[in-house]
């Protein structure tokens, strides 16, 4: 199943070894961004399907954006297929090869999010028992200056210190990072009239 | 000193009954045009020494100590009478601090620092605050209830057990504008 979804270049064993080296060496904490991750037709299908999902406003002291229910409840065929892919042994093996963790072939919670002008997610670490890898599949393209970047922080005395990396969402890029007590990250406030669409979820080990 | 409307006992009792007691989970009332123009200007023009109050995760804003002259002004008997008539409780000295919020400032709720029940008195000193966040928001029974921003408004909020408040993140609609508030505690 993985071959009908993932860009073939990422399935080469030699490429995966290279990606693993990049993942392990990345700063400020282990992360990786894989551009053009899915076969483009699949990514477009997912984006179209999300257009039919309902997004609810989510607001608290920490964030403001719109989000779907758990996508496990979706009745769209392409979304169901995507969730099926996340939970295959093949995909777990792929993620295990790159991260070095023993990833379980199961994604139990994933959501699509929509950030519009002034939406944000303040700095936090994502740590909840069992979560090993947090991932995002970006389905819209932003540019520097639009906001909506995924900001990664260094840590000092187990608290976030400085933003040292800003990942600008690119259509069909798959970004993931190790969840730990110091995996401090934030979504920068959207400052332009654009939409930031992504699917987010977690792998467990 | 204060708007004559808020000096009349019958008006205050009406506010108490029809506004303050309307939401038992968060008894509250906002009193617009509270101070006379002269006093409001005095509060706005207070000479303050602002200090950053930053924590990497929990909060980012500025605060300032209330000068003695301002403390005396806000502890005027007319102010106390208005507050007591609405809350139904006698108040002793009002104390607290000035708060200033600008783009990217915020505060979060914290499970380990839950405020004890009490009465918040908040005086809004900013005119024409845009729709930009920075609102004092109360978290009550799973709901986020913001205080609408309006210059020269005195807000009275009675916090019961497990009610928390925070400053909602100030977004880029604020531009370079800053929001100033006097955040006080009315001890009974």
- 3-state SS string over chain B? CECHHHHCHHHHHHHHHHHHCCCCCCCEEEECCCECHHHHHHHHCCCCCCEEEEECCCEEEEEECCCHHHHHHHCCHHHHHHHHHHHCCCCCCEEEEEEEECCCCEECCCCCCCCCCEEEEEEECCCCCCCCCCCEEEEECCEEEECCCCCCEEEEEEECCCCEEEECCCCHHHCCCCEEEEEEEECC
What pLDDT shows up at residue B133? Answer: 86
- Cβ(A139)–Cβ(A199) below 8 Å: yes
- Closest approach of chain B CAs to the CA of A174, in angstroms? 27
The parent domain of residue B171 ranges over 4-186
Region A140-158: mean pLDDT is 96
Measure in Å the smallest separation between the Cα of A33 and chain B Cα atoms: 25
What residues of B are in contact with residue A159 (Cβ under 8 Å)? 55-57
Residue A130: predicted pLDDT: 81
* Nearest in space to A134 (alpha carbons), one of A110, A154, A169, A116: A110
Residue A108 touches chain B, beta carbons under 8 Å:
no
pLDDT value, residue B188: 63
Shortest CA distance from A123: residue in chain B: B57
- Residue A62 sits at the chain B interface (C-beta within 8 Å): yes
Band (pLDDT 50/70/90 cuts) for residue A148 is very high
B136-140 and A131-138 beta bridge pairing: unpaired
Q: Is residue A177's pLDDT more than 70?
A: yes
Q: How many domains does chain B have?
A: 1
Place of tokens 């806000």: B74
Q: Which residues of B touch A (CB under 8 A)?
A: 55-57, 104, 106-109, 132-133, 137, 139, 144, 166, 168-169, 171-173
CB contact under 8 A, A161 and B144: no
A-chain residue closest to B166, CA distance: A61
Predicted local distance difference test score (pLDDT) of residue A175: 98
Q: How many helices (H) and strands (E) does chain A have?
A: 4, 11
Q: Which residues of B touch A189 (CB under 8 A)?
A: 104, 169, 171-172
Which ipTM score applies to this complex? 0.91
* Per-residue pLDDT at A107 exceeds 90: no
pLDDT value for A127: 80
Q: Could B171 and A124 be called an inter-chain contact, meaning their C-beta atoms sit closer than 8 Å?
A: no
- Give me the percent of chain A exceeding a pLDDT of 90: 92
Residue A78 — very low, low, confident or very high, per pLDDT cuts 50/70/90? very high
Task: Report the CATH number at residue B133.
Answer: 2.60.120.620
Whether residue A161 and residue B56 make contact (CB cut-off 8 A), yes or no, is yes
State yes or no: pLDDT of A13 exceeds 80. Answer: yes
Q: Work out the minimum CA distance from B174 to partner chain A, whole angstroms.
A: 11
Distance CA A164, CA A95 (A): 25
Domains of chain A: 2-204 (2.60.120.620)
- In this complex, do A61 and B109 lie within 8 Å of one another by their Cβ atoms? yes
**CA proximity to B183, closest of B160, B155, B162, B159:** B155
Residue segments in chain B with a per-residue pLDDT below the cut of 50: none
Distance CA A73, CA A81 (A): 12
Q: How far is B91 from chain A (nearest CA, A)?
A: 30
Q: Name the residue of chain A whose CA is nearest to B56's CA.
A: A160
Contact A122 B168 (CB under 8 A): no
Given this model, what pLDDT does residue B113 score?
80
């Amino acid at each position: 199943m993985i071959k009908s979804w993932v860009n073939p270049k990422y399935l080469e064993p030699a490429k995966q070894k290279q990606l693993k080296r990049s993942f392990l060496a990345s700063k400020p904490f282990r992360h990786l961004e894989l551009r053009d991750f899915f076969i483009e037709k699949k990514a477009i299908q997912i984006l179209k399907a999300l257009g039919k999902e309902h997004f609810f406003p989510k607001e608290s002291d920490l964030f403001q954006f719109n989000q779907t229910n758990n996508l496990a409840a979706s009745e769209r065929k392409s979304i169901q297929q995507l969730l099926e892919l996340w939970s295959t042994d093949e995909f777990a093996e792929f993620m295990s090869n790159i991260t070095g963790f023993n990833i379980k072939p199961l994604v139990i919670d994933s959501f699509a999010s929509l950030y519009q002008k002034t939406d944000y997610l303040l700095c936090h670490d994502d740590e909840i028992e069992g979560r090993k890898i947090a991932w995002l599949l970006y389905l819209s393209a932003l540019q520097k200056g639009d906001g909506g970047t995924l900001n990664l922080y260094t840590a000092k005395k187990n608290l976030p210190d400085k933003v040292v990396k800003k990942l600008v969402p690119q259509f069909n890029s798959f970004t993931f990072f190790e969840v730990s007590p110091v995996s401090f990250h934030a979504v920068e406030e959207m400052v332009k009239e654009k939409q930031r669409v992504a699917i987010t979820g977690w792998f467990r080990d | 000193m204060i708007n004559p409307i808020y000096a009349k006992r019958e008006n205050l009792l009406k506010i108490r009954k029809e506004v303050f007691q309307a939401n038992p989970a968060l008894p509250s009332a906002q009193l617009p045009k509270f101070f006379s123009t002269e006093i409001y200007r005095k509060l706005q023009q207070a000479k303050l020494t602002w200090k950053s109050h930053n924590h990497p995760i929990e909060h980012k804003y500025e605060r300032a100590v209330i000068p003695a002259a301002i403390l005396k002004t806000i502890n005027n008997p007319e102010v106390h009478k208005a507050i007591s008539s609405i809350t139904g409780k006698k108040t002793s000295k009002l104390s607290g601090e000035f708060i200033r919020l600008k783009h990217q400032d915020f505060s979060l709720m914290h499970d380990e620092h839950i405020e004890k029940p009490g009465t918040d008195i908040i005086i809004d000193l900013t005119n024409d605050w845009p729709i930009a966040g920075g609102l004092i928001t109360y978290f009550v029974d799973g709901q986020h209830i913001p205080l609408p921003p309006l210059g020269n408004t005195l807000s009275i909020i009675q916090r019961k057990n497990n009610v928390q408040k925070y400053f909602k993140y100030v977004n880029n609609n604020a531009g370079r504008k800053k929001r100033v508030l006097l955040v006080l505690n009315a001890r009974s």
